[in-house]
Amino acid sequence: MISEIRGSVFRHFLSAAAIGLIVISVFYMVWLRSSIKSLEYRMGVLQHRKAVLVKEQRNLIAARDNLLSIASIDNVAIKKMGFDFPDRNKVFYVKERI
């Protein structure tokens, strides 16, 4: 009698557990899938932002190249800072004594 009652309880428990497991699995799959989609959205936004930043970077590199061109450096160094082009008369040679 007791064993029958225990068997019955056990069967009910297993049934409930099985149903619970199925429900939880379904919810977990749905949650996982929506997380992945959410990540894909975020990555898509970041990818777009990266593309925009790369474009800005390229434009800045071009502006930097222009500023670092020899003509610009010459303009600043010679005309504004008083530098001069090396004079071949003022070249010194350094010789190591053996």
Partner 1 sequence: MGKRVYFVFILIALGFLAVVGRLFDLMVLNHDKFVKKSANQRIAEVDIQVRRGMIFDRKGRRLVANLERGSVYLDRANFGGNEEKLYQLAKMIDVNNNELSGQLKSNKNFFWIKRKITLEEIAKVENLKIGGIGITPEAKRSYTLGSLASHIIGFVNLDNKGLEGVEAKYDKELTGEGGKYAVQRDARGNRFYSEDDAENFGNSIVLTIDEGLQYIVEKELDEAMKKWRAAAATVVMMNPFTGEILAISNRPTYDPNNPVKTSPASRRNRAVTDVYEPGSTFKIVTASGVLEEKLAREDEKIDCSGGGIEVGGKIIKDAHPHGVLTFMEVIQKSSNVGTIKLAERLGKQRLYKYIKKFGFGDKTGIDLPGEVSGLVKSPERWSGVSIGAMPIGQEVGVTPLQIVTAYSVIANGGYKVHPHVVKGSITEDGTFSEINKPEPGPQIVSKRVVDIVTRALMMVTQEGGTAKYAEVIGNRVAGKTGTAQMYDRSIGRYSSTDFIGSFVGFVPAEKPAFAMVVVVWKPRGEIYGGLVAAPVFKNIAEKALTYLNVPREDMIKKNVLVVDKGGNMAGILN
Enumerate binding residues for partner 1 (CB under 8 A): 40-41, 43-48, 51-52, 55-56, 58-59, 61-62, 65-66, 69-71, 74, 85-89, 91-97
Q: Which of 88, 9, 37, 40 is nearest to 1 (CA)?
A: 9
- 38, two tokens: 């959410």
Q: Write down the least CB distance from residue 84 to partner 1, Å.
A: 11
Decide if 72 contacts 66 (C-beta within 8 A).
yes
Q: Minimum Å distance from CB 2 to partner 1?
A: 30
CB of 20 to partner 1, least distance (A): 19
Q: Cβ closer to partner 1: 81 or 94? A: 94
Closest by Cα among 51, 30, 49 to 41: 49
Q: By C-beta, is 6 or 55 nearer to partner 1? A: 55
Position of tokens 């790369």? Answer: 54
